Amino acid sequence: MIPDDVVEQVAQAADIVAIISEHVKLKKTGSVYRGPCPFHQGTNANFSVMPGGGYTCFVCGEKGSVFTFVQKRLGLTFAEAVKYVGEKSGIEVVDVQRKREGPDPREPLWELNATVAAWFKEMLWEREFGQPAREYLAKRQITRATADRFGMGFAPRELGLMRTYLNGLGFDDARLLASGLLVRREEQEEPRPRFRDRLIFPILDPQGHTVGFGGRLLGPGEPKYLNSSESKAFTKGDVLYNLSSARTAIRKEDRVVLVEGYFDVVRLVDAGIEPVVAPMGTALTDRQADLLARHAKHAFLLYDSDAPGQKATFRAADVLLTRGMDVRVVTLPDGEDPDTFVAKYGGDAMEKLFGAAMDVFDRKVQLLERGGWFTNLQRKRRALDSMLPTIRAASDPLMRDLYLQRAATAAGVDRSVLERELSAPMRRPGRPVAPPERGPARGAPRGMARGASGARANEHAGDHGAPLPPDPDEQFDDAPMEPPVERPPARESTDERAIIRVMLLEPASVDGVVEAVARLEEGMGEHPGLDGGPPHASGVFRDPVYAAIFATLAEHGGAADIETLTESLDPEAIRTVETLRGEAGAVVDPKATIDAALGGLHARLNEDRLTEIDRILPLAESAEQDALMQEKTTLSRETRALDPRRGWGALRKNRGS
């Protein structure tokens, strides 16, 4: 007997269209395949097969999965059917026996989601509520046929409409809350729909079950895109949008095109490019990469051409390289994304870009060369840091060797130095962690709130939008060869906590604190980093929750009340705010607390610079080493002498500022 997840692996690998086509003459009609039903010997095309899903006969009512079809058609037991499908799919199955008996516990949520998907679709096309969404689709040149192919719908703004409809069908609030279709922040609060005034994209698992939804806001507001919350049926990191429909094309073409968003998928498929999937706006996970590696050998990364898109490209590439996939990067013209490019130039033009796609490591080196990242010692060190994770990720020994030689040649570094780096344990120097993506906060210092299109992401763009090297510290954090370690959120910084507590309890101090933190970050520029500016990754705050709270307070100033904070922050940050607001007795002297905390954060930044100096010393010439050692001595003396009780102003005075 084997676990259910192995049976699931066979189901995911199965090409249901190919297997059923051996017994039924099928013809593609839209997004499905139709033919005569083999169970009631029909002659009309009433038998429908969904790629990546199941089959249904609209006359006799027969329906099921690929296993069900094989069992009924060939008279096999379930175990025999799994073996049969496994052989057809290239997976060896020995003595398989289904461990779980009875219905799948996720079926109630699948049923609910399928019902809601149909209701959303009705709201889009048959109700007055959907007029704004219909106009939006027309503006984006999405036809009714294309929208129907992806099951698009619309979630109206009215609070009780969906709930009343579903309750009337027997779906109680408990199931609606479990699925995430209804939400409430407090036990006494009336449930509210998660999706309101949004264009809806149903999300299907590889077997074709509707497991969740993505919603695109039609008007102004944030977040622009919202996905279903996690549930028994939906784990975002386990699903790829459109995989259930694209599986056959991916296998047939032995390639998968990875894009960022829903509309990118829709536009490419509509243009005839079918093996397209998307991780729905999140970083590619190991589980998603496993799914892709089971379907194809070649991956084309087609992310946005801006700096955040390029960073996401290289992160996804490293995850795929560990699976032995051939990873290529498709480069779009400046200012274009997959959706806009195909809308302007068509599928043939996109196919030409696929033909010109570069190996991911060649693309990374090209961007570094264009940006001048091999011109001096410190930039070269950071450039190498951005290349090493990709070299480590390459599971093909020959490709890894080629990457290593390419890096040594591009950087003008002896290959043996890089080999030592690769064999050494990966260091994880301290760094700030970027907060959840939002627009830049008013008055917030660099790195406090960097949205996907924020200025911080683009201010260091190089030739043709070529960014600085992907942050090496972030690359180390994502190094794919090292197994992930579960750890609690970074709450080790009592200084960050102290600052946020004072800002929450003393609203009049907010503007002054924001200015002080900005001055502290400006002081980071005294030590040249990647671009001659700050050497640190994101800014003063490292804990993402404290950073998010700081950004919100900086944006709204002392006027930020609890309602404003609740609307802007995620649940974990809201809980932290509530905890800190209840610690009024912990703040005796707000000014002294802030001064001490800023002094502590300053000392931490100095320590980061000392770590960076240790990392670049091996690459330095003799004269450069002398200068670095002098800087190290000065910093060490300053850090030891730093007395937080003297305050930020006194510290700046002593440093001649």
For 457-513, write each residue's pLDDT tens digit. 333 333 334 444 544 433 333 333 233 333 334 445 788 999 999 999 888 888 888
Specify which residues 233 forms β-bridges with.
none
Query: According to the model, what pLDDT value does residue 430 have?
Result: 41
Verify that 293 and 399 share a domain, yes or no: yes
48-52, 74-78, 188-192, 438-442: which is most confident:
48-52
Query: According to the model, what pLDDT value does residue 1 have?
Result: 55
Query: According to the model, what pLDDT value does residue 463 have?
Result: 37
Verify that 624 and 508 share a domain, yes or no: yes
Does residue 191 register a pLDDT over 60?
yes
CATH number at residue 200: 3.90.980.10
The answer as to whether 223 is a domain residue is yes
- Of the three residues 234, 262, 278, the one that is the final residue of a domain is 234
CATH number at residue 365: 3.40.1360.10
The answer as to whether 443 is a domain residue is no
The answer as to whether 183 is a domain residue is yes
Residue spans of beta strands (DSSP E) within 375-490: none
CATH number at residue 553: 1.10.860
Which tokens in the block code for residue 366?
Answer: 């090209």
213-222, 348-357, 413-422, 459-468: which is most confident:
348-357
Verify that 68 and 127 share a domain, yes or no: no
More confidently predicted of 449 and 314? 314
Is residue 5 very low, low, confident or very high in pLDDT (cuts 50, 70, 90)? Answer: low
The answer as to whether 486 is a domain residue is no
Residues 626-642 have pLDDT tens digits of 888 888 888 887 777 76
Verify that 319 and 392 share a domain, yes or no: yes
Dist. CA 625–CA 301, nearest whole Å = 40
- Of the three residues 406, 423, 440, the one that is the final residue of a domain is 423
Helices (H) and strands (E) in the chain, counts: 29, 16
Query: According to the model, what pLDDT value does residue 492 have?
Result: 52
Query: According to the model, what pLDDT value does residue 189 have?
Result: 81
Torsion, CA 70, CA 71, CA 75, CA 79, rounded to 10: 110
Which tokens in the block code for residue 35?
Answer: 């033919």
Query: According to the model, what pLDDT value does residue 405 have?
Result: 95
Mean pLDDT of the chain: 81
Verify that 123 and 225 share a domain, yes or no: yes
Does residue 426 register a pLDDT over 90?
no
* HEC string for 256-293: EEECCCHHHHHHHHHCCCCCEEECCCCCCCHHHHHHHH
Mean pLDDT of 99-124: 88
Q: Which residue has the tokens 């209804």?
A: 182
Residues 332-379 have pLDDT tens digits of 998 899 999 999 999 999 999 999 999 999 999 999 999 899 988 878
Is residue 146 very low, low, confident or very high in pLDDT (cuts 50, 70, 90)? Answer: very high
Contacts with 379 (C-beta within 8 Å, 6 or more apart), sequence order? 372, 373, 530, 531
Q: How many CB atoms lie within 10 A of CB 532?
A: 11
Verify that 399 and 260 share a domain, yes or no: yes
Verify that 398 and 284 share a domain, yes or no: yes
Is residue 281 very low, low, confident or very high in pLDDT (cuts 50, 70, 90)? Answer: confident
- Of the three residues 423, 440, 474, the one that is the final residue of a domain is 423
Verify that 345 and 270 share a domain, yes or no: yes
Dist. CA 327–CA 342, nearest whole Å = 22
The answer as to whether 481 is a domain residue is no
Verify that 221 and 262 share a domain, yes or no: no
Nearest to 258 by CA among 346, 335, 360: 360
Verify that 198 and 267 share a domain, yes or no: no
Longest dimension (CA), the chain: 92
Is residue 283 very low, low, confident or very high in pLDDT (cuts 50, 70, 90)? Answer: confident
Is residue 242 very low, low, confident or very high in pLDDT (cuts 50, 70, 90)? Answer: very high
Torsion, CA 535, CA 540, CA 543, CA 548, rounded to 10: -120
Does residue 537 register a pLDDT over 50?
no
Dist. CA 35–CA 87, nearest whole Å = 25
More confidently predicted of 538 and 209? 209
Dist. CA 337–CA 333, nearest whole Å = 8
More confidently predicted of 334 and 318? 318
Query: According to the model, what pLDDT value does residue 204 have?
Result: 95
Query: According to the model, what pLDDT value does residue 441 have?
Result: 43
Lowest mean pLDDT among 76-90, 180-194, 258-272, 609-623: 609-623
The answer as to whether 454 is a domain residue is no
199-203, 336-340, 411-415, 507-511: which is most confident:
199-203
State which residues form the domain around 162: 107-234
Query: According to the model, what pLDDT value does residue 521 have?
Result: 76
Residues 430-455 have pLDDT tens digits of 443 333 343 444 444 444 433 333 33
Verify that 372 and 514 share a domain, yes or no: no
Query: According to the model, what pLDDT value does residue 650 have?
Result: 40
Does residue 4 register a pLDDT over 90?
no
Specify which residues 470 forms β-bridges with.
none
Mean pLDDT of 107-113: 95
Q: Is 622 exposed, middle or buried (0-12, 13-18, 19+ CB in 10 A)?
A: exposed
The answer as to whether 460 is a domain residue is no
Is residue 132 very low, low, confident or very high in pLDDT (cuts 50, 70, 90)? Answer: very high
Q: How many domains would you assign to the chain?
A: 4
Kindly report whether the peptide bond that precedes residue 223 is cis, defined as omega within 30 degrees of 0. Answer: yes
Verify that 171 and 75 share a domain, yes or no: no
Residues 26-62 have pLDDT tens digits of 999 888 899 999 888 788 898 999 998 899 998 888 8
The pLDDT > 90 percentage for the chain reads 42
> Residues 602, 523: contact at Cβ < 8 Å?
yes
Nearest to 268 by CA among 294, 237, 242, 292: 242
CATH number at residue 61: 3.90.580.10
More confidently predicted of 112 and 529? 112
Query: According to the model, what pLDDT value does residue 404 have?
Result: 95
Mean pLDDT of 73-83: 78
Residues 337-348 have pLDDT tens digits of 999 999 999 999
Mean pLDDT of 202-219: 92
Does residue 211 register a pLDDT over 70?
yes
The answer as to whether 98 is a domain residue is no
Nearest to 136 by CA among 213, 217, 204: 217
